[in-house]
């Protein structure tokens, strides 16, 4: 995120060129400086969650990129949402793309191996008019209450309010398009994701890869010969 920070709010063409020329994004000098910085933070006992809290409250919140932030409450039961960290990130460009291209269907994917704590990262993506996947956000409910309205000339005002638990805050748009934005969600074979979107969006669709994977397993279990599996 830090390496790509100079390219915030750039258009899609510039981002594509930047990613294609990866040496410009991360060369050996930049990588070495980031490793030294992390080593210094470890020696100073500044853990990853402390760094994240500073990044959220002092940098990202000022820019309006934080849509929901909750610190953990260790006294809450383990099966209660308040027991865990929750963070939702997006920006105005992603929201506009969500309103424009994500009315019918969006994609939802989860990864557990992107950090040392194996904290789940859920990414929402949509397909733009050029056929490319573009990010929408990293959560659902809070994004729905921030999707821009369709009124021309509206400046889409928003504000932050503290959570009832007083352990964080959320961003709320005054004129969110909550009623009209109700797409399907294409998900992996992940039951928690399916449960999470119930009563929030139109419904869930299993992605094509997992459908074909399940069919293939059943064909193998049923001893279906390869000659008639995929004619």
Domains of the chain, residue spans: 67-229
- pLDDT exceeds cutoff 70 at 112: no
Contact 172, 146 (CB under 8 A): yes
- CA dihedral over 195, 200, 204, 207, signed as positive or negative: negative
pLDDT of 208 reads 79
Dihedral of the alpha carbons of 215, 220, 222, 224, in degrees to the nearest 10: 90
Q: What is the pLDDT of residue 113?
A: 64
Quote the tokens at residue 193: 């994701």
As beta bridge partners, residue 69 has 87, 169
**206: helix, coil or strand?**
strand
pTM (predicted TM-score): 0.60
- Alpha carbon 205 to chain centroid distance? 18
Main-chain phi, psi angles of 88, to 5 degrees: -120, 125
The dihedral over CA atoms of 180, 126, 185, 71, expressed in degrees to the nearest 10, equals: -90
Average pLDDT score, the chain? 76
The secondary structure of the chain in percent helix, strand, coil, rounded to multiples of 5, reads: 40, 20, 40
Neighbouring C-beta atoms of residue 22, cutoff 10 Å: 9
Interval 181-206: pLDDT, tens: 888 888 877 777 777 777 777 788 88
């Amino acid at each position: 995120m830090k390496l790509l920070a100079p390219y915030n709010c750039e258009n899609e063409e510039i981002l594509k060129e930047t990613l294609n020329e990866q040496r410009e994004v991360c060369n050996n000098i930049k990588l070495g400086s980031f490793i030294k910085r992390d080593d210094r933070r470890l020696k100073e006992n500044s853990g990853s969650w402390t760094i994240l809290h500073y990044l959220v409250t002092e940098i990202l919140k000022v820019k309006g990129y934080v849509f929901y932030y909750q610190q953990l409450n260790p006294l809450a039961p383990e099966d209660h949402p308040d027991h865990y960290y929750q963070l939702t990130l997006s920006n105005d460009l992603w929201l506009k793309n969500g309103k424009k291209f994500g009315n019918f269907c969006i994609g939802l994917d989860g990864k557990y191996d992107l950090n040392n704590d194996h904290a789940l990262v859920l990414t929402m993506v949509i397909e733009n008019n050029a056929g490319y996947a573009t990010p929408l956000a990293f959560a659902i409910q809070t994004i729905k209450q921030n999707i821009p309205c369709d009124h021309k000339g509206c400046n889409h005002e928003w504000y932050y309010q503290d959570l009832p638990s007083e352990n964080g805050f959320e961003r709320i748009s005054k004129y969110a398009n909550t009623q009209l934005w109700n797409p399907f969600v294409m998900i992996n074979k992940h039951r928690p994701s399916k449960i999470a979107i119930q009563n929030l969006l139109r419904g869930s669709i299993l992605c094509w890869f997992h459908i074909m994977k399940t069919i293939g397993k059943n064909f193998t279990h049923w001893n279906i010969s390869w000659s008639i599996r995929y004619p």
